[in-house]
Structure 1
Amino acid sequence: MRVLKFGGTSISSLKCFSKVVNIIKKNYKKDQIAVVLSAPKKVTDNLFYMIEKSCQTKDIKEIFNNTKDIFFYLIKSLFDSNENYYYLNIYNFIELKFNRLLYLLNIVFNLKFCPNSINAEIVCMGEIISVKLMELYLKNKNIDVFVIDPKKIFLSKGQYLESFIDIKESERRIKKINFPKNKVILMAGFIAKNKYGELVALGRNGSDYSATALAACLKANVCEIWTDVDGIYTGDPNKIKNTKLINKLSCKEAISLSYLGAEILHKRSIFPILEFNIPCIIKNTNNSNSYGTSILNIVNDEKEIIKGITFLKDIAMISIFICYNIKTINIYNRILVAFKKSNIKIIFMMQSSSESNINIFIFQNNLSESKCIIEYEFCFEINNKLFESIHYKSDLFILSMIGSNIFKNKNIFINIVKFFNFIHKKMISILYGGYLSNAFSVVLESCNIVNDLNNMHKIFFEKKNFIEIFIIGNKNIKNCLFNLFYKKKFFFKKKHIELKICGISDAKKLLINENGINLKHWKYNLSNSKIIFDSDIIIECLKKNNFLNPVIVDCTQNKIISKKYADFLIQGFHIVTSNKQPNISSIDYYKKIRNMSIISNKKFLYNANFNTQFPIIENIKSFLNLSENKNYYFSGVLSSAISFIFERLNKGMSFYKIIVLALQSGFSLKDIYHAILGKDSAENLLIIARELGYNIEIKDIEIKPIISKKFLKKNIKKEIFNISISVDNKFKKKLQKAKIQGNVLNYVSNIKNGKFIIKIQEASPNNPLFKVKSKENIFIFYTNSHKSFPIILKSFSYKKNIYIFNILNDLLKLT
């Protein structure tokens, strides 16, 4: 025996109805089947609406006729002729039922309220008509049918509109029925009868409940729930992108999903199949070949630990803070009893580990009544100040993931930490354990639920590391970076990394697309963009969209942009930057950025501050972590322009020729000017000093420039020849002196004994500075205990924009 239940969407049109009939034909030839039907789509909602309007003594003529027409349009499309015997039969049956409906609604209209017994009879009419229609249509197609009346077999307990089936008594009744073989058994869903012989409704998803209860009573081999989707998905496909079909669910997982908000089988529908160990399959009427989702008593599936995510909205939290001399277990039990008496559902109730407070989670529409219950039940405790305080919060959400052995899997735990990093600012509480031990939930303050669901789904199901990039920089730098991304595309694919460029700016105009920018035409589109660059636009884009790992990549040296870093961090962006301004500005702002990074739990990465082949900042931090002796000092050449110049000066080349060669090698006059003034070296030394723990400003660094001070304020383009003569004269004697000693000259940045100085100094053959080559940077770290064995880092800056590799390296740290 197989039980097949078809929902409202499956019988709402000729096309759908015909598919249902084909499924019935295909199945009843293999095995005897029992078919349970819902009312067509919209019918039950319309019936509830008519009751509501009749109570308000409002006109229902339009909705009444529209509901009636749903059936009339259906039968006209199903039967060939209005003279058809079966057509006339169902037509008259519909007229009869709607006359009865009108009679009942008139009673409601006159009473101005709807008695529960009438309410139940009205809302169940759709299912009764559906079964009669299917019976006559199948007979018209020469398929034998046996109709069973749910009122005769299902004994229910509870309320008129939310009853529970007594499975044992119903099973005893159904055993008395002699089901004819080779006939399709038909039954209306949603309907039962109480012990007084009154018709009652089975509540939300009542037809599913009817089907699983019938399967239990018949000891069916399987219960199939046919709907308009392929099965149960890892999330709501209407809200979450890239959801996946779940192949198998345990009954316990299905109950948890249902309880925590997923619109699948109601938990009442699952209990019969759980108790009688009957497989339940959710299948698609429009895709009958799909395997669907199987709900089984036990599922042994180690691969799929997390099965799905869901949410509840409009949640309120009541927090009761209790004095230490009160036993919380007594308070806990009194809350349960008081709320049960008032029929208020407690979703969760959690006691803190310190037992000093109890948190109660309920639906928000019950909050006012719940306040009254708390104040009445605990008036003695409140008046005698045995409660420290009672707090109420509303507009909350509960986001949940459901699976098995959640915290026994290392990868799941890592993903939970990732999710916490994303939602920690709006998280109120964590819910885990108890009856729903296979679920892990977080309570969030008012939020963009769609964004949070999508990000949660990405973390736990897509198995990719997402990075959404907003890049600011000039055309050449962006070109280099985009070309690097393209060259690394196979590496990204292998590592499951997905880079998405969502914003491009030159700090004047802004190109933005939350779904990702097509890089084939980015230059043209940016030049034609009408959006003026504004950091607030980028922040607003983050707020509106479900970015999981957004990052600002700043390839400028723009002070104004660097002043926005604190805002970017606190709003949820990581920052990867080559912009030195935040690190060379005041020590207060330097510390503020780092504090914001900690508070927001977002990374501030700046290895690209140095145009080196390796992440120098990372290496400095490693040196500090590994160094047992904190008495260290530093020496180095921190400018590739300086090493270019001094290699040639040491060989006797004139400064003028060196400048000409430098310009031919890609250096600008501005680069050269900043180098010989010591500006580049000073900025880099300031960053290193601060990384080493010195709270200094740029003014604390003593700079002895290469050129005479009288040239400092002059135009380098006009004075280049005079500057060259000055440098040549200045170096002539120094070079001769150095050569006699077998030494060379270099422009060296030093940190020693709390002093910071940049000056020209000699280097002997045993000194690491002796062999500094053109365009090379060298970083030398000494400790007092290992003066003879310093840590030496060298980098050859053969390209001006080599720091883009450090940008990529920093981006990979975000995965």
Structure 2
Amino acid sequence: MQVLKFGGSSVATPDAIRSVASILQAKKTNEPLVVVVSALGKITDQLLQCGSLAATGNVTYKELIQSITQRHLDMARELVPVAIQSSILSFIIQQFNELEDICNSVYHLKELSDRTIARILSFGEQLSSHIVSTYLNTHGITNTWLDATKHIVTDSNYLKAVVNFPATNKSIQSVIPKQSDGLWIVPGFIASDEEGRITILGRGGSDYTAAIFAAALQASVLEIWTDVSGMMTADPREVKHAKVISRISYQEAMELSHFGAKVIYPPTLQPAMQLNIPVWIKNTFAPEDHGTIIESNIVHTKGTICGISSIANISLISLEGSGMIGIPGYSKLLFETLASCEINVILITQASSEHSICVGIEASIATKAKKALDKAFAYEINRGMVNPIVVEQDLSIIALVGDNMKNHAGTSGKMFGALGRNGINVRAISQGSSERNISAVIASADVKKAINVLHEEFFETTYKQVNVFIIGTGNVGSRLLAQIKQQQAYLQKNANIQLRVIGIANSRRMLFEEHGIDLNQLDRLDSAEPMDLQAFINRIQTMNLRNSVFVDVTASNSVANTYADLFLKSISVVACNKIACSSAYNNYQHLKGMATDRHTSFLFETNVGAGLPVIGTLNDLLRSGDAINEIHAVLSGTLNFVFNNYDGTRSFATVVKQAQDEGYTEPDPRLDLGGTDVMRKIMILAREAGARLEMEQIVNHSFMPASCMEGSVENFYSEMERQEAHFKKLYTEATANGKKLKFVANYKNGEAAVGLQQIDPQHDFYHLYGKDNIVLFYTNRYKDQPMVIKGAGAGAEVTASGVFADIIRAASV
């Protein structure tokens, strides 16, 4: 004996019903088959709407009935040969005449009872099963239509009836002999009480009907045919890479179905589990797919969890107060009150201090629950023994499910660590004693992000998806995008990182693409929407993507001021921009503290030395227990380039202009020439080393005439030309002494200074060519011979590579 159930999507169209026939044709065996059929797709909702419209006095229920009638007539006309259509068409018309009579009565009475709703909803399965039965009979698949309402006996809870299994089993066994090779078509969802009045088994009850028949007949297998190829590791509408679960235990399946997995109706599994009947979920439209087998004694060889599920539209009801501690009876009154109002509790959590109890319920009944609890605890609330009942809205539950979680340490830590790193706040936690389910209440706005984060953490061992937003497409930004484009395939193959650029902006335009911008089509930015910095930040926050990294490749104060808002959403920040880290010390510390508190990254390696590993090395020294005593450095690639190329044969202004044209200077070259940029860099290094240092505390021995620093950039260049004698004198004096000019930054004993120095040939700085930087760290471990970091310290390509490296570091957290 086999029992098969076909859901609404499996009978929604004539082609779908033909697919059902093909499946049954292939099932021809010597054992009997029972086929349970749902209503045509969406019909149950439409029937309920007919009753609701009639009850509110809205006459358009008649138009809706007519539309539903026509759909069924069209279905029958397409499936059944013309010569023998009259019987099924007459049946359909007769059924809808009866439905309209019922709705007319509801319209006049303005009353819609549960009993009437059950009767209205029953028409869907009655009609679909008759159409399927007739089609099969006319195409050589002989079958018998069986009225479920005559054999499934329930109580009189019309909308969610409780089955009388002894009476039901006896009735089903009397009409379907086990030794037969027949085929029975049965309408799902519907039953009747002992008085013969129509009841229904709850939404999704067709699955339950199939399970009832399977249990009564002790079937060898129960097959649930639907429009997906089995139960998935997560909702495929939310998680692109969700996988089919090939085998799963009854208990795991019940947990997943309870927490929102819509493939199977939760009560279905109970009758099957009691008799150890395998339940096989299959795809009507891809019958060759394996699907999911649900049975006992499943041993998962990989992973601790089998799936992730969720329940939306949850409210948390909190009862708390110091008067509860050590006093029995509060929990009893809470749950008795909710039970008396027929309010189902989905999740329960209680503090070990007994100071609070929190329950999760459906959001639609939260107001009803609060009103009842306020009344029940009025005495205690008035006397301050407990606080007024608190209701929190806009929440959802996410759940990890798996038999293997039992006795496997670390699953909870892995779950909450992944959520925390992505800024997903957990409002309540619950774990059953079976250790098969870990549930967490989170904001509904975070559900999609949370499910993807957890799926990536527990299932997607192939790669980690990182979503990048970049502001700044100038010299450095454009090269960064080119490097990302070049390395995307390499990173996915060799580093298990799928790097997607989701947003790009410059001073004029901004472009977003939720599934990743095609970096071969960056010209789309030119016609994208106008740039609005706050709108750009808001969009990043609203998209709420996992593993998000914001990249600032500007010199903008306004962009730097957005970092705190990004950290609040646990979005990592990679800053080429020096403004934030060289701002007031309190702001620098605040930003670093926020990043730490939010378990996210704040990386700014390129603030000092472009792509050189200066800050990273300094932090490695400190983390390993060393201490920074002195720092001596040439930190301006621009100034090093200028003094390496200035020999008096060309004007100093000409060499500076060459440095700017080759992309070595700040957008305003005066920041480099005046020493401001070097002051920022040595201050950042000193701060990273533990010093509390402000810009005004740094001594600047500037070599630039004051007149050069006034007015516009154009005035800057023209004034340098007029001051050429000053610059030539600096060069001539150093050359005469056998030395070279280098702009040096020093930090020692909490003090910092920058300025132009004559460097003799024995010094580490003497042989520093082109645009190179050099940093000497004197530490407790490197006392006599410093740790030296040397290399190109300016240029768009190396700076972009430093930013790129920070992005990868942020992605690897």
TM-score over 0.5 (shorter chain): yes
8 Å contact kept, 1:3–1:211: yes
Q: Could you give the per-residue CA deviations for residues 372-392 of structure 1, whole angstroms, max 9, x where no partner exists?
A: 332343344334432244322
Number of residue pairs aligned between Structure 1 and Structure 2: 800
Distance in 2, Cα, partners of 1:709 & 1:405:
73
Which residue identity lines up with residue 677 of structure 2 in the other structure? D
2:686 counterpart residue number: 689
8 Å contact kept, 2:227–2:283: yes
Q: Secondary structure at the match of 1:488?
A: helix
Give the 5 Å matches for 1:210-289.
210-289=209-288
1:171 to 162, 169, 172: 169
Change (3 A) 1:474 1:171: closer
2:754 to 740, 753, 758: 758
Deviation at 1:540, TM superposition (A): 3.0
Give aligned-pair identity as a percent. 26
1:358 counterpart residue number: 357
8 Å contact kept, 1:316–1:396: yes
Deviation at 1:3, TM superposition (A): 0.5
2:148 pairs with 1:150: yes
Q: Could you give the per-residue CA deviations for residues 108-160 of structure 1, whole angstroms, max 9, x where no partner exists?
A: 45554345444434432332333344444333334333444434443324612
Deviation at 1:215, TM superposition (A): 0.8
1:438 counterpart residue number: 436
Q: Could you give the per-residue CA deviations for residues 447-486 of structure 1, whole angstroms, max 9, x where no partner exists?
A: 2655555555555544432222222334432332123223
2:50 counterpart residue number: 50
Change (3 A) 1:30 1:489: farther
Deviation at 1:220, TM superposition (A): 0.9
1:66 counterpart residue number: 67
Change (3 A) 1:384 1:655: same
1:700 counterpart residue number: 697
Deviation at 1:656, TM superposition (A): 4.5
8 Å contact kept, 1:648–1:658: no
1:615 counterpart residue number: 613
Q: Could you give the per-residue CA deviations for residues 486-523 of structure 1, whole angstroms, max 9, x where no partner exists?
A: 3323431122212222333332333333333222232x
Q: Could you give the per-residue CA deviations for residues 411-470 of structure 1, whole angstroms, max 9, x where no partner exists?
A: 885464222332435x422233346x4333332335265555555555554443222222
Q: Secondary structure at the match of 1:353?
A: coil
1:555 to 545, 553, 567: 553
1:91 counterpart residue number: 89
Change (3 A) 1:57 1:533: closer
1:33 counterpart residue number: 33
Q: Secondary structure at the match of 1:203?
A: coil
2:76 pairs with 1:80: no
Deviation at 1:356, TM superposition (A): 0.9
2:184 pairs with 1:185: yes
2:776 counterpart residue number: 780
Q: Could you give the per-residue CA deviations for residues 585-606 of structure 1, whole angstroms, max 9, x where no partner exists?
A: 3334333433443455442211
Change (3 A) 1:542 1:557: closer
8 Å contact kept, 1:14–1:78: yes
Distance in 2, Cα, partners of 1:411 & 1:793:
42
1:24 counterpart residue number: 24
Change (3 A) 1:163 1:748: same
Distance in 2, Cα, partners of 1:785 & 1:64:
86
Distance in 2, Cα, partners of 1:678 & 1:106:
87
1:538 to 532, 536, 539: 536
Q: Could you give the per-residue CA deviations for residues 666-725 of structure 1, whole angstroms, max 9, x where no partner exists?
A: 767967866554333322212212222333222221122345667665956445566554
Q: Secondary structure at the match of 1:803?
A: helix
Which residue identity lines up with residue 245 of structure 1 in the other structure? V
Distance in 1, Cα, partners of 2:117 & 2:558:
67
2:802 to 788, 806, 809: 806
Distance in 1, Cα, partners of 2:55 & 2:658:
89
Distance in 2, Cα, partners of 1:674 & 1:58:
74
Distance in 2, Cα, partners of 1:799 & 1:708:
27
8 Å contact kept, 1:578–1:807: yes
Distance in 1, Cα, partners of 2:337 & 2:374:
11
Change (3 A) 1:513 1:41: closer
Distance in 2, Cα, partners of 1:785 & 1:668:
37
Distance in 2, Cα, partners of 1:393 & 1:27:
51
8 Å contact kept, 1:587–1:697: yes
2:415 pairs with 1:418: no
1:332 counterpart residue number: 331
Distance in 2, Cα, partners of 1:606 & 1:428:
33
- Structure 2 portions without partners, runs of 5+: none
Change (3 A) 1:619 1:328: farther
1:580 counterpart residue number: 578
Which residue identity lines up with residue 317 of structure 2 in the other structure? I
8 Å contact kept, 1:328–1:356: no
- Structure 1 portions without partners, runs of 5+: none
Q: Could you give the per-residue CA deviations for residues 199-225 of structure 1, whole angstroms, max 9, x where no partner exists?
A: 422111111101011111111111111
8 Å contact kept, 1:612–1:795: no
1:9 counterpart residue number: 9
Deviation at 1:295, TM superposition (A): 2.0
1:396 counterpart residue number: 395
Between 718-727 and 537-546, report the one with greater CA deviation.
718-727
8 Å contact kept, 1:744–1:763: yes
Deviation at 1:616, TM superposition (A): 1.2
Deviation at 1:546, TM superposition (A): 4.6
1:130 to 128, 131, 134: 128
Distance in 1, Cα, partners of 2:364 & 2:508:
49
Q: Secondary structure at the match of 1:77?
A: helix
Between 369-378 and 208-217, report the one with greater CA deviation.
369-378
Deviation at 1:35, TM superposition (A): 1.1
Deviation at 1:170, TM superposition (A): 3.1
Deviation at 1:798, TM superposition (A): 7.5
Deviation at 1:291, TM superposition (A): 1.9
Distance in 2, Cα, partners of 1:100 & 1:410:
60
1:323 counterpart residue number: 322
Q: Secondary structure at the match of 1:316?
A: strand
